[in-house]
């Protein structure tokens, strides 16, 4: 672990999140970082390569988006600020192919295993479909504004959005448009890109959040509105007594099951986090303290039996656990109770931004723009391990099983294996 990473772990500890026992006895050596091949650590680097081509970047100081993992074929797909979209070997990070676009590629791709296609957006305003095996172009759908969020597939239809508050439905094979809807962008300032759509197969509804603070549900077949639009900016104005400076609802909606039915989690930059009834849009709960949220992730742990070798062996089945994790550069990283919105834990970020969290090997993997990449406990937010190359992370990491991938802001692509720390040996009494 580097000195910078250790500094953030200490800061997180001061914010109420103590350091786990696995850090006892670590020696910090900046010349040969102890995290790189530490036998008792949770995170070990197995891929480390420069990916972004020097001199080809287009004024971007960050590498954003998120990789997509095709575990069946051991491939990772990732975009770059050098205007390229890459297919890499998952084992060593070597390049399989590169596809050039007209703008920086800082979106989250979608891999289609049935077609062996990969869909991704570019800041040149287009959604691309290419063959995953070769990188050959299948089609390019021009939208007129940057496409940075992940498309959603439902049968033969792809749903995706752009930064000008358009929502599109197209044929996944041909790129032919089925329908589109549009809201006039907000006149005020926007803070964090745009949201992506969410799709519920149970109701065939598509949910979308807009820069003017509205949340709307659409019929997946024809794009007709199925809700009266929910205005979260108005909710924020009523709560504060004045018009909010930022109206954005930038988070992609997240669907979940409650005892009373389906809900959708959304957030307003100024108003906080909300749970809405998925069929009607009626408010289930709200948390007006968790402001500035730009990403929401639902962490789940299924019901399971206690470890037969652990202290709770022979005990009753542990029920399912869920935590709604909200990411904010101002409020920090917070775990919320999905049923009430109550804050379960909170980590303040000392400075800089923070990525969306990614469930990884039972934990939460999150990048920070100034301090590196960290593995946290989703139960209490406490840090488990961390790595730092000095350039920070704005790209959300991707994970499958015990492996994770992310790219630093300097264009260095990392593959990280994640394993529970080895138990600390204690002297016998």
The pLDDT assigned to 243 comes to: 56
Give Dmax (Cα) for the chain. 73
278 contacts 297 by C-beta, under 8 angstroms: no
Inform me whether the pLDDT recorded for 67 exceeds 80: yes
The mean pLDDT of the chain is 84
Inform me whether the pLDDT recorded for 92 exceeds 80: yes
For residues 253-261, give the mean pLDDT: 91
CA dihedral 247, 252, 257, 262 (to 10 degrees): 60
Cβ atoms within 10 Å, residue 199: 19
Closest CA to 45 of 422, 418, 423: 418
pLDDT bucket at 244, cuts 50 / 70 / 90: low
Cβ atoms within 10 Å, residue 340: 12
Distances 105 to 79, 327, 397, 402 between C-alpha atoms, Å: 5, 22, 16, 26
pLDDT tens readout for residues 217-238:
999 999 999 999 999 876 655 5
Inform me whether the pLDDT recorded for 138 exceeds 90: yes
Residues paired with 358 in a beta bridge? 365
pLDDT tens readout for residues 163-203:
999 999 999 999 999 999 999 876 554 555 789 999 999 99
Residues paired with 268 in a beta bridge? 272
- Lowest-confidence range among 43-52, 121-130, 245-254, 392-401? 245-254
Q: Can you give the chain as a three-state secondary structure string?
A: CCHHHHHHHHHHHHCCCCCCHHHCCCCCCCCCCCCCCCCCCCEEEEEEEECCCCCCCCCCCCCCCCCEEECCCCEEEEECCCCEEEEEECCCCCEEEEEECCCCCCCCCEEECCCCEEEEECCCCEEEEEECCCCCEEEEEECCCCCCCCCEEECCEEEEECCCCEEEEEECCCCCEEEEEECCCCCCECCCCCCCCEEECCCCEEEEECCCCEEEEEECCCCCECCCCEEHHHHHHHHHCCCCCECCCCCCCEEEEECCEEEEEEEECCCEEEEEECCCCCEEEEECCCCCEEEEEEEEECCECCCCCCCCCCCCCECCEEEEEEEECCCEEEEECCCCCCEEEEECCCCCCECCCEEECCEEEEEECCCEEEEECCCCCCEEEEECCCCCCCCCCEEECCEEEEECCCCEEEEEEECCCCCCCCCCC
For residues 201-223, give the mean pLDDT: 95
Single pTM value for the model: 0.86
pLDDT bucket at 287, cuts 50 / 70 / 90: very high
The pLDDT assigned to 384 comes to: 87
pLDDT tens readout for residues 309-368:
655 566 677 778 899 999 998 899 999 999 999 999 999 876 778 899 999 988 999 999
- Lowest-confidence range among 72-86, 124-138, 199-213, 222-236? 222-236
**The two three-digit tokens of residue 381, written as one number:** 């937010």
């Amino acid at each position: 672990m580097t000195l910078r990473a250790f500094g953030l772990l200490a800061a997180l500890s001061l914010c109420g999140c103590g350091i786990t026992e696995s850090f006892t006895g670590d020696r910090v050596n900046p010349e040969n970082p102890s995290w790189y091949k530490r036998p008792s650590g949770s995170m070990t680097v197995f891929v480390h390569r420069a990916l972004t081509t020097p001199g080809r970047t287009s004024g971007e100081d960050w590498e954003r988006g998120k990789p997509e993992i095709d575990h069946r074929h051991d491939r990772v797909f990732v975009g770059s600020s050098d205007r390229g979209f890459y297919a890499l070997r998952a084992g060593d990070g070597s390049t399989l192919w590169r596809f050039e676009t007209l703008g920086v590629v800082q979106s989250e791709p979608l891999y289609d295993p049935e077609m062996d296609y990969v869909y991704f957006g570019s800041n040149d305003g287009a959604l691309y479909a290419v063959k995953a095996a070769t990188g050959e172009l299948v089609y390019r759908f021009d939208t007129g504004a940057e496409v940075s969020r992940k498309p959603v597939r439902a049968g033969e239809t792809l749903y995706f959005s752009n930064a000008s508050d358009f929502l599109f439905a197209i044929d996944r094979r041909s790129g032919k448009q089925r329908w589109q809807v549009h809201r006039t962008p907000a006149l005020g300032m926007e803070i964090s890109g745009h949201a992506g759509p969410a799709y519920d197969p149970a109701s065939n509804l598509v949910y979308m959040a807009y820069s003017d603070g509205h949340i709307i549900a659409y019929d997946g077949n024809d794009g007709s509105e199925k809700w009266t639009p929910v205005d979260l900016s108005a909710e924020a104005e009523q709560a504060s007594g004045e018009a909010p400076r930022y109206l954005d609802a930038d988070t992609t909606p997240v669907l979940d099951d409650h005892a009373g039915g389906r809900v959708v989690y959304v957030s307003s930059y100024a108003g906080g986090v909300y749970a809405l009834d998925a069929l009607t849009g009626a408010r289930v709960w709200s948390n007006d303290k968790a402001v500035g949220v730009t990403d929401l992730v639902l962490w789940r742990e299924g019901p399971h039996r206690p470890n037969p070798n652990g202290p709770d062996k022979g005990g009753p089945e542990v029920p399912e656990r869920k935590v709604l994790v909200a990411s904010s550069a101002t409020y920090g990283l917070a775990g919320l109770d999905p049923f009430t919105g109550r804050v379960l834990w909170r980590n303040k970020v000392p400075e800089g931004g923070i990525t969306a969290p990614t469930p990884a090997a039972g934990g939460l993997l999150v990048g920070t723009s100034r301090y590196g990449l960290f593995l946290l406990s989703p139960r209490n937010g406490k840090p488990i391990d961390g790595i730092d190359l000095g350039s920070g992370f704005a790209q959300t990491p991707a994970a499958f099983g015990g492996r994770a991938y992310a790219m630093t802001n300097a264009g260095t692509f990392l593959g990280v294996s994640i394993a529970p720390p080895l138990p600390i040996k204690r002297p016998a009494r």
